[in-house]
Structure 1
Amino acid sequence: MNQIVEITEAAALHIKEMMKQNEEENAKLRVAVKGGGCSGLSYGMGFAQEVEEDDIPFELHGLKIVVSKEDAPILQGTKIDYKESMMGGGFTIDNPNAIANCGCGSSFRTATKVGTPEEC
């Protein structure tokens, strides 16, 4: 099993709770990269019912995860965590492949993939 991203136990528990609330308990978590944002690339997380032919499936903390083979090199080694604060909770994404991030923290680019930057 090829683990592309690391998902902390706190993030996995929160994702499982979201799956339960959305009646998606049997779904897989799809972690993806798409064009957009100030720096050119942005992260996407959603629920998938099927594993596509070009997906790399793996499991962490009882959570089934899929990443496309195209996104795998960009996401390799990325850590997804969930943190609670007095302002609420949210996911944090730490990607060692990102060489630039936008000021809002929602987009990035890598040395080999620039994406499609937008005006901020």
Structure 2
Amino acid sequence: MTAISHPESNAGAVAPEISISEFGAQKALGILASSGKENAGVRVFIKSGGCSGYQYGMAIDDRELEGDTIVYDRGVKLLVDHMSLPLLRGGQVDFVENMMGGGFTVHNPNATSSCGCGHSFRTDSAQAPDGEGSGGCGSH
């Protein structure tokens, strides 16, 4: 593991690598409590694909892998692998509810464009992987 930070105890300090909103934390804590996994956290990661080039992924994970950055925010442990961190740095995990239901999303300052459904994004410095990123939101 490369870094551990506690944003709620660092008032006025450097911004955390990643954070979670109050509503997102409430939802995540409920899911983590019912997961049955001791010491679990929310793993936030980036994978290739989606209509804009990259796609967000989240999972309940009780493993801390070599190179992970671990952030504790609002009582939630967030785990980010070393490959995903540069694309997520400064982002905030949130939970949104709408007419289609609800789900977790990432408010990402690194994304320069995203698809209409909010599950995939692109940055200025990255092109969509070959053969990916050309479909609509249904191609996730």
If the length of structure 1 is used for normalisation, what is the TM-score? 0.86
Aligned to 2:125, the other structure's residue is in SS state coil
Aligned to 2:36, the other structure's residue is in SS state coil
1:31 alignment partner AA: V
* 1:55 pairs with 2:68: yes
Aligned to 1:19, the other structure's residue is in SS state helix
* Match for residue 121 of structure 2 among 103, 108, 112: 108
Q: How many residues align?
A: 120
Instruction: Compute the displacement of 1:86 (Å).
Output: 6.1
Q: What residue is the counterpart of 2:106 in the other structure? A: 93
Q: What residue is the counterpart of 1:7 in the other structure? A: 20
1:60-79 correspondence to structure 2 within 5 Å? 60-79=73-92
Aligned to 2:109, the other structure's residue is in SS state coil
1:17 alignment partner AA: G
Unaligned 5+ residue runs, structure 2? 6-15
Percent of paired sites with the same residue:
38
1:17-32 correspondence to structure 2 within 5 Å? 17-32=30-45
Unaligned 5+ residue runs, structure 1? none
Structure 1: distance between partners of 2:104 and 2:68: 23
Structure 2: distance between partners of 1:37 and 1:52: 25
Aligned to 1:52, the other structure's residue is in SS state coil
Structure 1 residues 107 and 5, CA gap change in structure 2 (3 angstroms):
same
Structure 1 residues 35 and 87, CA gap change in structure 2 (3 angstroms):
closer
Q: What residue is the counterpart of 2:59 in the other structure? A: 46
